[in-house]
Chain A
Amino acid sequence: MDVEVNLDTAIGSGDPAESGIAGGAELLAFAEAAVRGAPLDGPRSVLIASVGMDGAAQAAATVAAFSGLVRVADGTGIPIDEGLASASAEIRVQLDLDSFAGAANSDLRAVVGGGADDPMSLFGGASS
């Protein structure tokens, strides 16, 4: 899959219409309204028209899942692993992510090979 993505839109500094992802503007508007607690009737209807009912449900689930994940990560202060520190170096600079307070939890001098590029592995260790 070759997709040219404008990462700036993910941090709110780019034009949502220029995300490079189908339905990107609608997904971003929906996610932002949901996180802020803003009125959702409009963004929800527009999103359903853009990605369908099931797509909108998956977007809502993603908003919820990551709203939980960020709280667990920041609340426990878990540092990023060395592989991710290395793999994310360029993107962190581009998006100024190292300015977030949580960056202090990680040793960003660590640069080793490899990278955690498989999101499915996020859940490999969950207990049951």
Chain B
Amino acid sequence: MISVGSDYAVAIEETRARLGRSGTWFDAAVIGSIVARADARSRQRHVAPWNHDLPVANNTLGRSACAVIDRIACEPGSVDAAWAAERIAELGEGPYVELVGTTAVAVALRLFADAVGTEVEPISPATTPGEASRLTPDGLGDIGAHVKMLEPFPFANVARALSQVPSANTTFYTLVRPMYSAAGFDELVWTTPLSRPQVELVAARVAAMNECFY
């Protein structure tokens, strides 16, 4: 097992706490179901599809939502504009974005746990989970993606991918920012355990294995 520093542990706990609360389009119970399904798919990523043991699509998650979760969890590189358009027509654009972001978080939590050799605990609903806000931010535009994003956007391009659903965006970067930028890219002299080339080598290999062009 790999011992994990406090920065990562805090990021995981804060992320798990956010997953226990309602989001923008889904309430806390549905988000819990999304995470459970995405984690199950990711946990069984080495298992043949016909042998998967997954939470069933019931009244909490419909068929279309499960299709998004399953594809994003296991075959994200195969998503194309036509497939995304079909799912968005069935689900709505905001819910589609929230499904993508929540699934990505669940997969990242699973892979980190597997990588360090620990377990993934189920998400516990918050005592006061709140209600789905169903609020869409102003300033969304078509930049040629499958979904609308903030436009113009003053920061790096990829950071606006989930900008249509701020709650999902915040949850995603609560986890991912410390796990990547903890490397200290803005420092001229790296003091992190891995050098920048070492980090970039791992990042590039993960992206290539997922056939991610971006």
Q: Which residues of A contact B (CB under 8 A)?
A: 1, 3, 5, 7, 9-12, 19, 21-24, 27-28, 30-32, 34-38, 40-41, 44, 48, 51-81, 84, 95, 97-98, 100-107, 116, 118-128
Contact = CB atoms under 8 A, between A and B. Distances in A.
Interface stretch (B21-29, B51-59, B122-130, B164-172): B164-172
Given A101-B77, A102-B77, A63 B202 contact: yes
Interface of B: 1-5, 8, 43-47, 68, 72-73, 76-81, 84, 97, 100-101, 103-105, 107-109, 111-112, 114-117, 143-147, 149, 153-163, 166, 169-170, 172-173, 175-183, 185-186, 192-214
Contacts of B204: 7, 10-11
Nearest to A55: B193
Contacts of A64: 108-109, 111-112, 115, 175-176, 179
B160 A125 contact: yes
B46 A119 contact: no
Contact of B213 (A67, A75, A106): A106
15 contacts: A22-B198, A44-B117, A58-B193, A63-B111, A64-B108, A65-B180, A76-B161, A77-B81, A77-B144, A77-B147, A105-B213, A116-B156, A123-B156, A124-B155, A124-B156
Contacts of B2: 44, 48, 53, 56-57, 60
Main SS of the interface on chain B? helix
Contacts of B109: 64
Contacts of B170: 126-128
Contacts of B84: 75, 77
Contact of B209 (A32, A51, A125): A32
A73 B111 contact: no
Contacts of A9: 201, 205
